[in-house]
Amino acid sequence: MTMTNIALTDSYVGGRWVVGEQERHPVVNPATGQVLAEVSVSAIGQCIAAVDTAYEAFPRWSETPPRVRSEILRHTYELMIAESEKLAELIVLENGKILDDARSEVAYAAEFFRWFAEEAVRVRGDMRRSPAGHNWIMVFHEPIGVSLLVTPWNFPAAMATRKIAPALAAGCTVVLKPAMETPLTALALADILERAGLPPGVVNVVTPTPAGPAVAAMLRDSRVRALSFTGSTEVGRLLLAGAANNVLKCSMELGGNAPFLVFDDADLDAAVDGFMLAKMRNGGAACTAANRILVQRGIADDFIERIVDRMAALRVGPGLDPATTVGPMVSRGEQRRVSELVGKTIEGGAETYRTAFDDTDEGFFYPPTVLAGVDAGAGVLKEEIFGPVAPVISFETVEDGVRIANDTDAGLVAYLYTKDLERGLAVSRRLQVGMVGLNRGLVSDPAAPFGGVKVSGLGREGANEGILEFLEAKYIATPFS
């Protein structure tokens, strides 16, 4: 194993590593329950100092030629790829996911720097003659200013780079507040950005806990002009309210409740493979995870039998063990929450298939579980499971399938399997979501607009849309000549 970078445990402000003023915060390895590192806790004043430095760095960074900014982003991508094994191991240690998932995450996370290095030099404006003919309408895109980025623990690298890369490409400076379950990866990213040549103050990483008061103080600071949040819908609502006072531009990537629809004409082998990816990537802890498995009646028994076999073949264990295919949950709290949710579903009469594993008191493991014959009103169909649990319900007609799929406040992603392309496109259009996997169990791609509708969020990350979240249009009217 290569050396992991646990040395970086202080916050990063103005290009310097800053020790907190309070007792340090323990980061726990979910595979062992042991403390992995102790991270500085940023005081509220230190978070505001990060806003100071981001604000001071903004004029120069926003005026830096796009090509220069682009090359720093490109260099960051190259360093991440060169150091990907070390980063992947760090992600496994603090998050628990298996090494293969962590490697995929690093590749995905790095790709945002490459993609936005390319977007940085392609920000376009527009020039038109006004319809009445009297003046020119000139439109520019300007960086919005200091941006506050708040990220969750489930993809400690990718959720940060999906925000940092477009913000820097646009010319913004940022303060990142990572989840305190997984702050080490964010601190390692700050170090990589510094080595890639990023000037001090452009990216700052603060580590306050509890998060609420520090984030609220930064939102009250009128120098912060944008908020980009990824996390639960519950916290997203609170932050939207906090952002209202200074009327911040907000991007919100919130919770999902993805339906995974299998129609009776589907290629079942492909559907089962797609299910394993959509459900089990990251041990089920993904906002895009298939949460409700909806199978048309005629193939339901066959499909359930196949997924039970595939789930039973998984191996639960520490993420760094090459034989492991499902790692632990991130925390004891998450393990208990999922266990209670499953318990209630079983009380409601669901048939349960659980993968065998050696339970120990160390580590926060939970076995892959299929719940068949789940009652339509069960809580497990309404809540985001965020774990290796697959509730299955069957439906009769295409109409029923669409109705059940849309019967949720969330609207991030849906998956559907059918060999009939016309049906696939018609159903995709009617699903109330921001993204659809049509005969595919994975939608995430830095070149595609990622985001949800309904309570799953506002705005899009990745693609060309991602940089627009950090830009504002300015229009100049001048006489036509």
For residue 287, indicate whether it is catalytic. yes
The residue type found at 204 is N
Which one is catalytic: 253, 334, 461, 469?
A: 253
Can you tell me the distance from the alpha carbon of 318 to that of 30, in angstroms, rounded to the nearest whole number? 8
Residue 121 has φ and ψ, to the nearest 5°, of -100, 10
Binding interface with ligand NAD (CB under 6 A): 150-154, 159, 177-180, 211-212, 215, 230-232, 235, 238-239, 253-256, 287, 384, 412, 452, 457
Question: Rounded to the nearest whole angstrom, what is the least distance from the CB of residue 213 to ligand NAD in the complex?
Answer: 8
Task: Give whichever of 258 and 300 is closer to ligand NAD, judged by the CB atom.
Answer: 258
Task: Give whichever of 158 and 271 is closer to ligand NAD, judged by the CB atom.
Answer: 158
Interacting residues of 265 by C-beta distance below 8 A, sequence separation 6+: 418, 419, 420, 423
Can you tell me the distance from the alpha carbon of 452 to that of 413, in angstroms, rounded to the nearest whole number? 7
Stretch (H or E) spanning 107: helix 99-120
Question: Rounded to the nearest whole angstrom, what is the least distance from the CB of residue 49 to ligand NAD in the complex?
Answer: 18
Question: Rounded to the nearest whole angstrom, what is the least distance from the CB of residue 66 to ligand NAD in the complex?
Answer: 27
Task: Give whichever of 401 and 451 is closer to ligand NAD, judged by the CB atom.
Answer: 451
Which one is catalytic: 287, 334, 384, 461?
A: 287
Task: Give whichever of 256 and 319 is closer to ligand NAD, judged by the CB atom.
Answer: 256
Q: What is the 3-state secondary structure (H, E, C) of 118-129?
A: HHHCCCCCEEEE
Can you tell me the distance from the alpha carbon of 238 to that of 65, in angstroms, rounded to the nearest whole number? 37
- Token readout for 409 is 């406040």
Can you tell me the distance from the alpha carbon of 375 to that of 392, in angstroms, rounded to the nearest whole number? 10
- Token readout for 471 is 């830009």
The residue type found at 405 is A
Task: Give whichever of 36 and 215 is closer to ligand NAD, judged by the CB atom.
Answer: 215
Q: What is the distance between the terminal CA atoms of the chain, rounded to a whole angstrom? A: 68
Do 327 and 335 form a contact (C-beta atoms < 8 A)?
no
Task: Give whichever of 91 and 266 is closer to ligand NAD, judged by the CB atom.
Answer: 91
- Token readout for 24 is 């340090």
| 3-class SS of residue 130 | coil
| 3-class SS of residue 231 | coil
Question: Rounded to the nearest whole angstrom, what is the least distance from the CB of residue 239 to ligand NAD in the complex?
Answer: 6
Task: Give whichever of 232 and 439 is closer to ligand NAD, judged by the CB atom.
Answer: 232
Query: Of all residues in this chain, which one has the CB nearest to ligand NAD in the complex?
Result: 231
Q: How far is CA 130 from CA 124, 441, 472, 476, 479, in A?
A: 19, 47, 21, 12, 10
The residues facing 261 across adjacent strands are: 294, 416
Question: Rounded to the nearest whole angstrom, what is the least distance from the CB of residue 150 to ligand NAD in the complex?
Answer: 5
For residue 253, indicate whether it is catalytic. yes
Helices (H), 245-281: 268-280
Can you tell me the distance from the alpha carbon of 297 to that of 303, in angstroms, rounded to the nearest whole number? 10
| Residues classed as catalytic | 253, 287
